Amino acid sequence: MTTYDFDLFVIGGGSAGVRLGRISAGHGARVAVAEERFWGGTCVNVGCVPKKIMVNAAEYGAWAEDAAAFGWNLENHGHDWGRLAAARDAEVARLSGIYGKLLAGAGVTSFDARATFIDAHTLDVGGQRVTAERIVIATGGTPHRLDIPGQELALVSDDLFTLKALPRRSLVIGAGYIAVEFATILRGLGGEVELVYRAPTPLRGFDEDIRTAAVEALVGQGMVLNPDASPVRIGKVEDHLMVTLSNSGIREADAVFFCTGRTANTQGLGLDKAGVRTDAAGAVIVDDDHRTSIPHIYAIGDVIDRVNLTPMATAVGHALADTLFGNNPRRANYENVATAVFMSPPIATVGLTETDAARIGPVDIYVSRFTPLRHTISKREGRKALMKLVVCQRTQKVLGAHMLGEDSAEIMQGIGIAIGMGATKQDFDRTIGIHPTAAEEFVTLRTRTREAGVAQAAQ
């Protein structure tokens, strides 16, 4: 019988890989994890965690201004980027360290090295040959740059976390999660911000009402939006950048950020030597059990480009560990995953959009748009909340919940549980609200705003 150095080798020490490695070792497997850059991966080091700290920082400026309406007499002496960066970096270092310790504590062998395939059971790990019975690719993704002249002059999301100062004028390309979150940070900390995106509305894939409300919120914060446009060239003039747009516009900026999606980290991994197949964009192709084209090699997390969210990656890593080594075969559920965009105010959503639900059958739509109590006093622009339920007409099950408004991410987690359990509109209605909150609106949406999908169903 062939003997391997490890039962499981995980390439990548991010959210997915660390959870998988730790739980597998807990089940008694001999596990190794290799990480070439930083433990904790994108989320901890150049993603969710430092981003959220900076979003929090960005909120304080406006809150300090709001405070006057509540009787506070505060003086704002401006923002200290260096102090924020130091606090952020200390927290990131602490969390990254915890990830490393979690593995050691679980008895996992860690390699601070790049691992590449030599063949389907053998890896080169920082110059050392290591064999494993099963191998899991959990190498994540990397920011994508547009292939235009001068692209090297632009920054990507990783770079926000090493900037020494706030750029005075930023041009953010794209209008997905990262673009609007970065725009929120840069604007909230005092910069001038323009967004350039190729669609008429930002945040493709989100509910249309939310997208429209997002435009209002972004403009309300003083951002300039350039829809239906893409950059075609970036040039440097003295100490600033000039960006030519597809609609012939020219924009001047001190920093340009490509927030134009992410690409799976599969280049140079030697996947061809192992026979692992990827799609045209480079993401590893897997089946519903996360098995690649080679049965003992799996892939999880952003490298498969399915639902690119940390909690999804950890859930999948955990389920795979239980399946392979815990005598508990199971799959993580990709349905009804709640998610948030940390713009200001944040967006949170779970389940189907109105458009997607209406494709399946007739739906009742409930929408509420209102100014939260805090802002009837503060009078701050762009703070209106929007809450929306998409309800199946036949079963009365709530198929989707969407919110743009303060605390939406905190609220949506609980709504996600209800929707996952198949709650009906009547279940929402008989729930007593917490008063006075914005959240109570989800259980007091009495009057149907409209129906949708009726015509499609009739066809």
Q: List the catalytic residues.
A: 435
Task: Give the closest residue to 453 by CA, choosing from 353, 368, 367.
Answer: 353
Contact string (CB under 6 A) for ligand NDP, positions 293-332, x = contact: ---------------xx-----------------------
Count of CB atoms within 10 A of residue 330's CB?
Answer: 11
Smallest gap, in angstroms, from Cβ of residue 96 to ligand NDP? 18
Smallest gap, in angstroms, from Cβ of residue 415 to ligand NDP? 16
Smallest gap, in angstroms, from Cβ of residue 72 to ligand NDP? 31
d(CA 430, CA 417): 16
Applying CB under 6 A, among 341, 343, 350, 438 the residue interacting with ligand NDP is: 341
Does 9 participate in binding ligand NDP (rule CB under 6 A)?
no
Does 175 participate in binding ligand NDP (rule CB under 6 A)?
yes
Residue placing its CB nearer to ligand NDP in the complex, 69 or 337:
337
Q: Largest alpha-carbon pair distance within the chain?
A: 77
Does 43 participate in binding ligand NDP (rule CB under 6 A)?
no
| Residue in the shown chain whose Cβ atom is closest to ligand NDP | 176
Q: Encoding tokens for residue 395?
A: 């079963």
Which residues 239-298 are close enough to bind ligand NDP by CB under 6 A?
259-262
Applying CB under 6 A, among 40, 50, 167, 174 the residue interacting with ligand NDP is: 174
**In this structure, what are the phi and psi dihedrals at residue 389, rounded to the nearest 5 degrees?**
-120, 140
Does 347 participate in binding ligand NDP (rule CB under 6 A)?
no
Smallest gap, in angstroms, from Cβ of residue 37 to ligand NDP? 17
Contact string (CB under 6 A) for ligand NDP, positions 377-406, x = contact: ------------------------------
- Single-letter residue type at 139: T
Residue placing its CB nearer to ligand NDP in the complex, 108 or 264:
264
Does 199 participate in binding ligand NDP (rule CB under 6 A)?
yes
H or E stretch covering 298: strand 297-299
Does 230 participate in binding ligand NDP (rule CB under 6 A)?
yes
Applying CB under 6 A, among 129, 168, 204, 450 the residue interacting with ligand NDP is: 204
Q: Encoding tokens for residue 20?
A: 């998988």
Please say whether the beta carbons of 256 and 182 come within 8 A.
no
Residue placing its CB nearer to ligand NDP in the complex, 84 or 338:
338
Residue placing its CB nearer to ligand NDP in the complex, 100 or 351:
351
Task: Give the closest residue to 390 by CA, choosing from 413, 421, 359.
Answer: 359
Contact string (CB under 6 A) for ligand NDP, positions 141-170, x = contact: -----x------------------------
By rule CB under 6 A, what count of residues binds ligand NDP?
23
Span near ligand NDP by CB under 6 A; candidates 63-71, 123-131, 197-205, 214-222: 197-205
Q: Encoding tokens for residue 440?
A: 């109570």
Residue placing its CB nearer to ligand NDP in the complex, 123 or 284:
284
Does 177 participate in binding ligand NDP (rule CB under 6 A)?
yes
Please say whether the beta carbons of 187 and 193 come within 8 A.
yes
d(CA 459, CA 455): 6
Q: Is the peptide bond before 345 cis (omega within 30 degrees of 0)?
A: yes
Q: How close are the terminal C-alpha atoms of the chain, in Å?
A: 61
Smallest gap, in angstroms, from Cβ of residue 419 to ligand NDP? 18
Q: Is the peptide bond before 436 cis (omega within 30 degrees of 0)?
A: yes
d(CA 27, CA 324): 9
Residue placing its CB nearer to ligand NDP in the complex, 261 or 362:
261
**Residue keyed to tokens 């270092």:** 93
d(CA 147, CA 130): 37
d(CA 411, CA 438): 9
**In this structure, what are the phi and psi dihedrals at residue 226, rounded to the nearest 5 degrees?**
-120, 85
Does 179 participate in binding ligand NDP (rule CB under 6 A)?
yes
- The DSSP bridge partners found for residue 284 are 278
d(CA 90, CA 363): 48
Q: Between the CA of residue 237 and those of 47, 193, 242, 259, 309, what are the distances in Å?
A: 31, 19, 7, 23, 38
Smallest gap, in angstroms, from Cβ of residue 92 to ligand NDP? 16
Does 232 participate in binding ligand NDP (rule CB under 6 A)?
no
**In this structure, what are the phi and psi dihedrals at residue 410, rounded to the nearest 5 degrees?**
-70, -35
Span near ligand NDP by CB under 6 A; candidates 98-106, 333-341, 372-380, 445-453: 333-341
| Site residues (vs ligand NDP, CB under 6 A) | 146, 174-179, 181, 197-199, 204, 230, 259-262, 308-309, 339-342
